[in-house]
A and B are shown apart, each in its own frame.
Chain A
């Protein structure tokens, strides 16, 4: 497959608008703005089968269509560039190396939902990416691609880069909206959904960086073309896979949706480091349930992974070799969730801390009989009862590890120490 998102990103300096336009950049935006109706654009995106790349996999065209048509007044597009899930680093690649692709996608999406002011909410730690984006936006504005009267029409689209202040929860779309508004980044109760009441109370679409970056190619080549890539009809297009952990060649790989996990690890990422044995793989970012070596034949797409009891999530593949202690790994992730819980709702605030305390005991030889069952119970009590998906994420991770590596947890409790010989 020809690369769509990362094409020519190495060496050609696509962050410079001259190089980007020389390679045919902004032609799609021009086409959309000057020759297509809103309905045509949304139709094309619907046909492409493009699903949200942030984790939930919601069809992008349908999301755009949810914005109330009869709403008078401004609407907004928010690009979620608050990439903070452990293991996920795919959006950074795009933001730093191909910012104009995102901007072009946002121009088209903004036009399609009727937004004149759009936001990029970028993770605060992405200083380089934010600077690159600001420079790229300034260039696009100078060229007349952004601002008033874009592409010589009477249409207006502008983009503001909003830097986050370090909270993982701000990647949750309603918390992101609160943060843009200048409030503490706490998730909101839904309904109302952002498509109805979003940024500053206006209808808002929140899309992931990768989702928006896929839009220009769909407009350029047609939805049908995009839908032919991957595993049609429901898992289409290309996908950025961020592979990390104990592999020889960690990195971001753009491959057709549905590439097998085994292929990804052993072929593209060069296999396990130091010829060790594979112990487990987290397929889609830290919250997705872990897979065992015998399960890695799975096709890396939304539906296949769901069927396998996990999730594609952000397609952040975390590879763990035989030396990994899964108790320690789940403790590390549980600490992350406890630390990042906003504290609004009871099960997440108290449950993640409790989970962490139990795991800490087990890992340090102080586990007692019944702790595994207790962990299961605590996770199950968090699951589905929280205000936003963060609590679910923590519980899902925990239940995943318990399901696949229960014996190792029991061993810790029995031996009263960690049985893995750590370096």
Chain B
């Protein structure tokens, strides 16, 4: 383990760790554009030049491996001069169109120009003008803003493995492009907009929609498949504008013993690191389907439409459940949070003394293309199937197909959504059921048949946890406030339970604490780590 000195601070690092990574892991900022923790450094932008004792020239810290006794200086006049020079060079042909660039506010070039750049430029020549290129229907490339860090090219080469992007032309005419006549294939396109340090790559989804500094970023989990990728959802007031990837844990790459710096391209990437840096296009662009909220006018009571208030609806459901007794059938959506699942199963088991629950079938989350090296999608296109299995298992409740629940001819069918279109096929089969209760954040063909419909919240409007395919319990958070007359799903369930049995399950926190206490799978959760995800297999110290 070599020890290096950076700006007077002694730092011990792993074999093969670069100076930049060593500095970064220890809170010393070395500005950089082309370095990215997920792929091989190019030494291209020259922004990370530092002074190293016994070396006559400044060295790129992103490619220089830290060795024993190395003395690095990042704040000398020479280094400052070089940084300022590089920024001045980059800005010679940069349009400086920050007022209409989407990146403004989170632009690395903008930030570094303020911090390290010269306050004026002697460049008096006309700037190069260039045309936009549509790399795919989802992504546009603006060569004028491009600083040629080639992160996107290396992403497609090292991470996706399909090499769909390349640099064409040479010198100042260089630009990023696809094979002539081809566009980027859907699947993992959106990530290049995330990793672009400037505004050269922008998604159609977000372009010109909102200034980033007006948005609030919330750490949450992508609900569109069982991989449970960590994301930021950027929102303002009631509107979600954008989904981005969220890095989980960068320090692991600094200590990864498998990294081989002498190899041309690093061969080994830990799945988790990739997962934290990148998300798929469905997650990035398809979030709207899990958001739109079209049933906000409050509960619908089809027995007494004029009496469609919350209190009346809940009272009705309570009364009907009491009547039905053990003849209650329950169907769960794998979009429900662990806490909702617990409350729902508590209702089924403790109150109706039933011991099985139906789970809606969601389509498998297939990879978009077989040719990609990056394979993030897992399980089905819903976030919490694993969570349901675990909690049901712990409570001794059997999971059965939806058909079986309906075939058992319940007097009351309680469906906890979101349903989407997954129950559309049952609209005929449920005709004989006397009372159908549906709880969902939006209306569906199925909910039209419900006798009582209670509007809940989408994943972006509530707190909770999801358990992904790998068994990690991860936290979702309130991203946007709910408007209208919808109610938190968990509150609806606990209200009903309280009104039937007098049992107070409490709020999200109480139930999570209960889960941690009562259910083995939730043992030893560090509540703080739920922000970033925790591997329960490791935490519980056993295999399951």
A residues with a Cβ closer than 8 A to B are 167, 184, 189, 192, 196-197, 201, 338-347, 349-354, 357-358, 361, 368, 370, 374, 377, 381, 384-387
Contacts and interface: CB of A to CB of B under 8 A. Distances in A.
A197 B41 contact: no
Given A189-B43, A385-B46, A352 B89 contact: no
23 contacts: A184-B166, A189-B42, A192-B262, A201-B264, A338-B172, A340-B170, A341-B170, A342-B171, A343-B148, A346-B44, A346-B89, A346-B147, A349-B171, A350-B92, A350-B172, A352-B172, A377-B122, A381-B81, A381-B82, A384-B58, A385-B49, A385-B58, A385-B82
Given A344-B44, A353-B92, 13 more contacts: A184-B166, A189-B43, A340-B171, A341-B172, A342-B171, A344-B42, A346-B44, A346-B148, A354-B123, A361-B125, A370-B122, A377-B122, A385-B46
A127 B166 CA distance: 29
B60 A354 contact: no
Contacts of B169: 343
A345 B85 CA distance: 13
B63 interface: yes
Contacts of B60: 189
Contacts of B43: 189, 345, 387
Given A353-B171, A385-B46, A385-B85, A197 B58 contact: no
A345 B46 contact: yes
Contacts of A344: 42, 44, 148, 150
Nearest to A341: B171
Nearest to A348: B171
Contact of B171 (A189, A197, A338, A374): A338
A374 B93 CA distance: 17
Contacts of A353: 92-93, 171-172
Contacts of A343: 148, 167, 169-174
Nearest 9 pairs between A and B by C-beta? Answer: A381-B85, A343-B174, A189-B43, A350-B89, A341-B171, A357-B125, A343-B171, A353-B172, A189-B63
B86 interface: yes
Interface in B22-68: 41-47, 49, 57-58, 60, 63
Contact of A350 (B42, B47, B93): B93
Nearest to A186: B167
Nearest to A187: B43
Contacts of B492: none
Contacts, number: 99
Most chain A CB within 10 A, of B122, B148, B172, is at B172
A352 B125 CA distance: 13
Interface residues of B, number: 39
Nearest to B62: A189
A228 to B, nearest CB: 33
B90 interface: yes
A381 B170 CA distance: 21
Contacts of A386: 46
Contacts of B5: none
Interface string B249-269: 000000000000011100000
Nearest to B168: A184
A315 to B, nearest CB: 25
A192 B81 CA distance: 27
Contacts of A361: 125
Most chain B CB within 10 A, of A338, A341, A347, is at A347
A385 B42 contact: no
Given A351-B89, A385-B82, A345 B44 contact: yes
B148 A349 contact: yes
Contact of B85 (A201, A339, A347): A347
Given A197-B262, A350-B172, A184 B123 contact: no
Contacts of B262: 192, 196-197
Contacts of A167: 170
A27 to B, nearest CB: 40
A387 B88 contact: no
Most chain A CB within 10 A, of B45, B81, B166, B171, is at B171
A387 B45 CA distance: 9
A361 B124 CA distance: 11
Q: Summarize B's interface: helix, strand, loop or mixed.
A: loop
Contacts of B93: 350, 353
B46 A347 contact: yes
Contacts of A338: 171-172
Contacts of B82: 381, 385
A387 B46 contact: yes
A354 B89 contact: yes
Contacts of A384: 57-58
A388 to B, nearest CB: 10
A167 B169 CA distance: 11
B521 to A, nearest CB: 46
Nearest to A391: B46
Nearest to B81: A381
Contacts of A350: 89-90, 92-93, 172
A230 B42 CA distance: 42
A179 to B, nearest CB: 13
Interface in B72-88: 81-82, 85-86, 88
A342 B43 CA distance: 14
Contacts of A189: 41-43, 60, 63
A306 to B, nearest CB: 15
A370 B120 CA distance: 15
Contacts of B41: 189
Nearest to B82: A385
Contacts of B148: 343-344, 346, 349
Contacts of B263: 201
Contacts of B174: 343, 349
Nearest to A339: B171
Most chain B CB within 10 A, of A201, A344, A358, A381, is at A344
A196 B92 CA distance: 37
Given A167-B170, A197-B264, A201-B264, A354 B58 contact: no
Contacts of A339: 170-171
Interface in B170-185: 170-174
B172 A346 contact: no
Nearest to B65: A191
A354 B169 CA distance: 18
B89 A381 contact: yes
A347 B46 CA distance: 8
A383 to B, nearest CB: 9
Contacts of B88: 381
Contacts of B45: 345-346
A346 B86 contact: yes
A358 B45 CA distance: 23
A167 B42 CA distance: 20
A56 B120 CA distance: 37
Contacts of B90: 346, 350
B247 to A, nearest CB: 25
Nearest to B175: A343
Nearest to B122: A374
A106 to B, nearest CB: 26
A346 B170 CA distance: 13
Contacts of A197: 262, 264
Most chain A CB within 10 A, of B47, B58, B174, is at B174
A192 B41 CA distance: 13
Nearest to B94: A350
Nearest to A360: B125
Contacts of A354: 89, 92, 123, 125
A349 B151 CA distance: 17
Nearest to B126: A357
A201 B57 CA distance: 26
Nearest to B170: A343
Most chain A CB within 10 A, of B46, B47, B58, B166, is at B46
Contacts of A357: 125
